[in-house]
Amino acid sequence: MKKNMGKFDRLLRILVALAIAVLYFINVISGTLAIVLGVLAIIFVITSFISFCPLYSPFRISTRGKE
């Protein structure tokens, strides 16, 4: 599993996950939408910490820049 996410991409995913969490806790989103967005937020956090996005691999996308 080769890392394919740069710092900006990881930071952006963490910020989106935090925004989803805030929207949930202030009761802006609820029900099925909250569940779907919550799962997406968890996936964003996990992929940010491991610096690997499985959806980037088939398309050979990398946001890491020059190594």
pLDDT attached to residue 67: 60
User: How far apart are alpha carbons 12 and 24 in whole angstroms?
Assistant: 18
pLDDT attached to residue 66: 73
pLDDT attached to residue 65: 80
pTM equals 0.87
- Among 3, 24, 2, 22, which Cα is nearest to 14's? 22
- Among 41, 48, 9, 50, which Cα is nearest to 22's? 41
pLDDT means per 10 residues, the chain with 67 residues, are 92 97 96 97 96 92 82
